[in-house]
Amino acid sequence: VNTTLTWLNLWQNSIDTVGAVALADVLKVNTTMTDLELGYNNIGTAGVVALADALTFNTTLTALGLDRNEVHIDGVVALADALNINETLTKLGLRDNGIDTAG
């Protein structure tokens, strides 16, 4: 596990769900990253659910950018549940995801 990287910007890199799940596995054990930008990657709900699960373990990430990733209600619910546990995330970007009033 990398112990020096604090900021990673993967904006618009075709990460998709598989990549998001892999990043989520890393976030569960990473203790140095504070800022992760994943905007415009078509992560989808399953990828966001995996990232939300990682947030329940991670204690260092303070900013997560998920703009324009096809996040829908199940992803929003997973993130909300994770934020009830996570005490370090202070910035969460979800713009342009088509989240309606139910989200």
Residue 88 carries which DSSP code? Answer: S
In the predicted structure, residue 98 carries a pLDDT above the cut 90: no
Q: What is the pLDDT of residue 103?
A: 58
Q: Which DSSP helix (H) or strand (E) runs through 36?
A: strand 35-37
93 phi, psi to nearest 5 deg: -95, 120
pTM to 2 decimal places: 0.94
CA 88 – CA 76 distance, rounded (Å): 18
CA 89 to chain centroid: 10
- Reported as a single tens digit per residue, the pLDDT across 59-88 is 999 999 999 998 889 999 999 999 999 999
Q: Tokens 């990673």 correspond to what residue?
A: 8
CA 103 – CA 93 distance, rounded (Å): 14
